[in-house]
Structure 1
Amino acid sequence: MTDPHEAVHVILDDTAMAAAGRGNLLASRLIHRAHAEPGWYLYATACALVEADRARPGTGEHIVSLPGITVLDLDLIAALSVARHDTWAVAHTLHAAQPTPERPAGAVVATAVPGAWTAHPVRVLDLTP
């Protein structure tokens, strides 16, 4: 079993999901890695999934059909966090990126718009080509 402290945890924001649906090479490599390599974990929050599907219809079905991506539900704790923010997609992704017992160091947010995360205390993986 992989040590959770050495694992790589990445959360796709809504822009990264839409980029994956458009064939973004960096997003595709990330998805492949999460499926093929031990210790790589890729997540999509339910709220960001909805927003990505609104921006690019069909993205939701595409993302959930991919192996290696875990969809994070909007549980009570996440819902309370979302209630304090203007956008649900950002709030749910931000909440999911925080440290948890499964992700002791938190997670990196993969995004096609890295500037959108500058005001938030998260590590960012830039997927812009």
Structure 2
Amino acid sequence: MSDAMHIVLDETAMAAAGHGNVLASRLIHRAHAETGWYLYAPACALVEADQARPGTAEHLAALPGMTVLHLDLPAVLAVARQNAWAAAHCQYAAQPTPDRPDGAIVATTAPERWIGEPVRVLDLTP
């Protein structure tokens, strides 16, 4: 198991960061300030977060330590099979890869939506 911490923000976590959620803010700070902490913003979730709270996408994409995950062909194929594109892109992004052999944790303020899904969840509910 790797010592690195890989965290995918879902659209609820992204919106919460813009609303002053302390836990989301701490994650953002750690990804910027500490070695081995990585935050990911899947593009589909970034779009939904920005629709819910305009300006969120531009703000988060500009943060050091935040990596926007674009839709490559494998991501498109995974997302296309689902109705909720933001959740599908987050779930896809959390799966193990060569760069993230242990996968990533999905940070959310709606942990109930992830029940039964094959992801680890970090509840950012205050």
Normalising by the residue count of structure 2, what TM-score does the alignment of the two structures yield? 0.98
Number of the residue aligned with 1:103 = 100
Aligned mates of 1:115, 1:74 — CA distance in 2: 26
Q: How many residues align?
A: 126
Which sections of structure 2, spanning at least 5 residues, go unmatched?
none
Number of the residue aligned with 1:35 = 32
Which sections of structure 1, spanning at least 5 residues, go unmatched?
none
Aligned mates of 1:81, 1:23 — CA distance in 2: 32
The structural deviation recorded for 1:66 is 1.0
Number of the residue aligned with 1:85 = 82
State the identity as a percent. 70
CA RMSD of aligned residues (A): 0.9
Please give the secondary structure, in 2, of the residue aligned with 1:106. coil
The structural deviation recorded for 1:6 is 1.3
Aligned mates of 2:117, 2:55 — CA distance in 1: 28
Aligned mates of 1:66, 1:23 — CA distance in 2: 15
Instruction: Establish whether residue 94 from structure 1 lines up as the match of residue 77 from structure 2.
Output: no
Which residues in structure 2 correspond to 1:47-126 (within 5 Å)?
47-126=44-123
Normalising by the residue count of structure 1, what TM-score does the alignment of the two structures yield? 0.95
List per-residue Cα deviations over 1:68-90 (Å, max 9, x = no partner). 00000000000000011011100
The structural deviation recorded for 1:53 is 0.4
The structural deviation recorded for 1:62 is 1.1
* Aligned residue type for 1:95: Y
Aligned mates of 1:82, 1:64 — CA distance in 2: 21
Runs of 4+ in 1 over 2 A off after TM superposition: none
